[in-house]
Amino acid sequence: MPQRSPSGDKRFHKRFQEPFTKKKVPGTFSQRAGPLSCCDGCLRRSRLISLLAGHIDSALGQGKSVAALFSLTDSELVEAIAGSGKAGILRKLDAVDIEREHSSALQSGLWTVCQHSPSYPARFKGLVDRPACLFVCGSEEQWQALQGPSVAIVGARRASPYGLEVARELARELALAGVAIVSGMAFGVDSAAHQGALDAKGVTVAVLGCGADIAYPVSKLSLYRSIVTSGLVISEFPPGFRPRKWTFPARNRIMAALGDMTVVVEAGRRSGSLITAGFASELGRPVGAVPGPITAAQSQGTNGLICDGARPVTCAGDVLEEILGVDIRSCSNGGEAKANAMLSGLSTELKRVLDAVGRGHDTVDKLTAVVNDAGRALSSLGELELLGLIGRAFDGRYMVRGGQGALSSHNEQ
């Protein structure tokens, strides 16, 4: 069942009662445009994309790239991929009722912005595969936040506690500094980044691979609602559109274009977030990657990016330096002192176990080689877990954590 955003919410209704302004720009505008507006041509294009959804599936299967497809005009697109269904598609396209499109967007509590509108994000201008029409859920003030600095934070869905913690902390500190956090609301790093921005009461933007009124994945519904309340949910697909495999690379290009920098927090060798980093570097935007242990399979992608020239990101300051050009060190040294204090209070055995976990002995059996007793190993692990110094990953392996959420950089080791 598609999850609809609260269209019964009074807040949304009030907005739609504001006086509308008719703008003198190319293309015909329907009466029922909102303060942000979309021309009929672009709205028709978004409907065309949804009509061609199945054909795009097979076209991408044959190797055409997402960017290439989206840079074609309407007629070129139909020519290229509709194949035998061309006549049917063209007929349906002619039958598209613009009024209905506008009202369905309104009913779902969404606004529309098209490439001809003055509110269209400046970052998209000039891009050959830019989205024609964006559907937005959120308030106008939050839309203004896109004028300021922004960062796209992406990463693996099956992230380790390290990746999740880093994503959340990084997003939190950047949001505190006034940077908008863009991500995809997927499992793992994306959700952690959104959560971090929400923690700091900053602005976060979720770019979805489905209609902006649908919360996908379904288990992220409460996160979706929080983002709608204090941030933005954006999609180039019409309301009610269900996600498909190709909609994710499609939205990844939008994420990369919306951020002044793209930071990959944790990615395996074949993670989809590396594609987002690829889009960013094609656009000439800086790409950052958070390093991880070289023995960890889930950090092979990010470490690889660093080898290929991405900027290593170890704290929020690294990102701020890159996008604002200023040497701002926002690392909390207070957290570092706290972590050190906790470490000094540990018994020798606990320190030894912590050290061993840090060096890669991440299961009880491996630690028994260090401590000689499975019972003692397990007790030490339990205690360290209680103190917050280690955590357990999805598969039960132990990993060192930063203590009380301190993203401390430049640690003397």
Residues that bind other proteins (CB under 8 A): 157-159, 161, 164, 187-189, 191-192, 195, 219, 297, 363-366, 368-369, 373-383, 385-386, 388, 391-397
CB of 337 to other proteins, least distance (A): 21
CB of 188 to other proteins, least distance (A): 5
Q: Considering beta carbons, is residue 337 or 374 the nearer one to other proteins?
A: 374
CB of 219 to other proteins, least distance (A): 7
Sort strands 150-154 and 180-183 into parallel, antiparallel or unpaired. parallel
* Contact (Cβ atoms closer than 8 angstroms) between residue 352 and residue 386: no
Tokens of 26: 């190319």
Q: What is d(CA 105, CA 112) in angstroms, rounded to the nearest whole number?
A: 8
374-392 in b/e form (b: 16+ CB < 10 A) is eeebeebbebbeebebbbe
CB of 153 to other proteins, least distance (A): 13
CB of 119 to other proteins, least distance (A): 32
CB of 355 to other proteins, least distance (A): 18
CB of 248 to other proteins, least distance (A): 12
* Contact (Cβ atoms closer than 8 angstroms) between residue 254 and residue 228: no
Q: What is d(CA 247, CA 51) in angstroms, rounded to the nearest whole number?
A: 13
Question: Of 15, 17, 78, which is closest to residue 44 (Cα–Cα)?
Answer: 78
Those residues with Cβ within 8 angstroms of residue 308's Cβ, 6 or more apart along the chain or in another chain: none
CB of 33 to other proteins, least distance (A): 38
* Contact (Cβ atoms closer than 8 angstroms) between residue 310 and residue 289: yes
Q: Considering beta carbons, is residue 99 or 373 the nearer one to other proteins?
A: 373
Q: Considering beta carbons, is residue 310 or 389 the nearer one to other proteins?
A: 389
Question: Of 150, 138, 134, which is closest to residue 193 (Cα–Cα)?
Answer: 150
Q: What is d(CA 47, CA 82) in angstroms, rounded to the nearest whole number?
A: 14
Those residues with Cβ within 8 angstroms of residue 309's Cβ, 6 or more apart along the chain or in another chain: none
Sort strands 287-289 and 311-312 into parallel, antiparallel or unpaired. parallel
Q: Considering beta carbons, is residue 19 or 396 the nearer one to other proteins?
A: 396
Q: Considering beta carbons, is residue 49 or 356 the nearer one to other proteins?
A: 356
Q: What is d(CA 354, CA 367) in angstroms, rounded to the nearest whole number?
A: 10
Q: Whose structure tokens read 């955590």?
A: 391
What is the distance in angstroms between the CA of the first residue and the CA of the last residue of the chain?
A: 52
Q: Which helix (H) or strand (E) holds 135?
A: strand 133-137
**Residue 261, strand partner residues:** 151
Instruction: With H, G, I as helix, E, B as strand and everything else as coil, classify residue 182.
Output: strand
CB of 305 to other proteins, least distance (A): 20
Q: What is d(CA 139, CA 15) in angstroms, rounded to the nearest whole number?
A: 9
CB of 325 to other proteins, least distance (A): 32
